[in-house]
């Protein structure tokens, strides 16, 4: 039982809140039963686990927790990164909010077979906020790292850049524009994708929004809507149904 705040494992957990220490060590922290259970389901073994009242005094674990309410269990894990791939995946550029990055990783795990590819300027996917937002998906489906140019060198991708107000709408893409591997490319909500990346995309499309609603969606929401829209269309394309590929599984928001 750990009874001293000077214990090396507790000190390491505290230091891993700093991105520089995560980069130096290649480790990260997952707090709470849900994340530790998600790691176990994914077959990911911790470097070590500390359970309050079993391995460490509960108050000491709370002191190094990043959660305001404290935690009952903390796991320290080795960071892992995937190779880009899959028939459908997401590319993020300049998405600096860790909550958005973690949520996109979770949505991609739920809706497509490829990992999230993190380009320049993206938040650390293994920061505490990103790990929590992923709800364990960062463990089950680790992200990849590459810029769009590197991604094109590795794979014969069809890059679909999302840009508010552009035409066509995502639901109007032709089947010929959905030849896998398809990569949905997004930037941060305020800045969007840089012009040079939009120009290098195969298609620039938008998610139509209500005229009386907001003028944009954050990266996590836009990625989720796009994957939900494209996943069944690509499945129908593989099955040979509806060769024109123009029928959407979701209504445009402007029709609601």
Give CATH for domain 88-255: 3.40.1280.10
**pLDDT (tens digit per residue) in 209-245:** 998 998 889 999 999 999 999 998 887 766 665 444 4
| pLDDT over 80 at 252, yes or no | no
CB 135 within 8 A of CB 207: no
Q: Give which of 215, 227, 186 is closest to 89, Cα–Cα.
A: 227
Structure token pair of residue 211? 């005229």
> Across-strand partners of 49?
75
CA 190 to chain CA centroid, nearest Å: 18
Are 8-78 and 88-255 equal in CATH topology? no
Domains of the chain, residue spans:
8-78, 88-255
Task: Report helix, strand or coil for 117.
Answer: strand
Among 6-10, 85-89, 96-100, 249-253, which stretch is predicted with the lowest mean pLDDT? 249-253
Q: Give which of 124, 12, 167 is closest to 77, Cα–Cα.
A: 12
Q: What is the pTM assigned to this prediction?
A: 0.90
CA pair distance 35, 25, nearest whole angstrom: 20
Percent of the chain whose pLDDT exceeds 70:
92
Task: Report helix, strand or coil for 131.
Answer: helix
Q: Report, at the CATH architecture level, how domain 8-78 is classified.
A: 2-Layer Sandwich (3.30)
Half-sphere exposure (CA, 13 Å, Cβ side) for 162? 33
CA pair distance 58, 71, nearest whole angstrom: 8
**pLDDT (tens digit per residue) in 58-100:** 999 999 988 877 789 999 999 999 999 999 999 999 999 999 9
């Amino acid at each position: 039982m750990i009874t001293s705040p000077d214990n090396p494992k507790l000190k390491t957990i505290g230091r891993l809140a700093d991105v520089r220490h995560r980069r130096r060590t290649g480790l990260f922290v997952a707090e709470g039963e849900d994340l530790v259970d998600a790691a176990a389901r994914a077959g990911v073994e911790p470097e070590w686990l500390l359970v309050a009242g079993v391995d460490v005094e509960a108050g000491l674990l709370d002191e190094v927790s990043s959660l305001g309410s404290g935690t009952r269990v903390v796991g320290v894990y080795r960071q892992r990164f995937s190779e880009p791939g899959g028939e459908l995946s997401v590319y993020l550029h300049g998405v600096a909010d860790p909550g958005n990055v973690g949520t996109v990783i979770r949505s991609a795990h739920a809706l497509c077979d490829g990992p999230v590819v993190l380009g320049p300027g993206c938040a650390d996917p293994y920061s505490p906020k990103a790990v929590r937002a992923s709800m364990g998906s960062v463990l089950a489906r680790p992200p990849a790292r590459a810029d769009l140019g590197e991604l094109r060198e590795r794979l014969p991708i069809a890059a679909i850049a999302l840009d508010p107000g552009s035409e066509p709408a995502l639901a109007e893409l032709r089947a010929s524009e959905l030849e896998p591997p398809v990569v949905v490319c997004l930037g941060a909500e305020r800045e969007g994708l840089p012009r040079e990346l939009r120009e290098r995309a195969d298609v620039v499309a938008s998610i139509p929004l209500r005229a009386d609603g907001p003028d944009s969606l954050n990266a996590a929401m836009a990625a989720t809507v796009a994957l939900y829209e494209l996943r069944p269309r690509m499945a129908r394309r593989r099955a040979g149904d509806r060769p024109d590929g123009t029928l959407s599984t979701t209504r445009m928001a402007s029709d609601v």
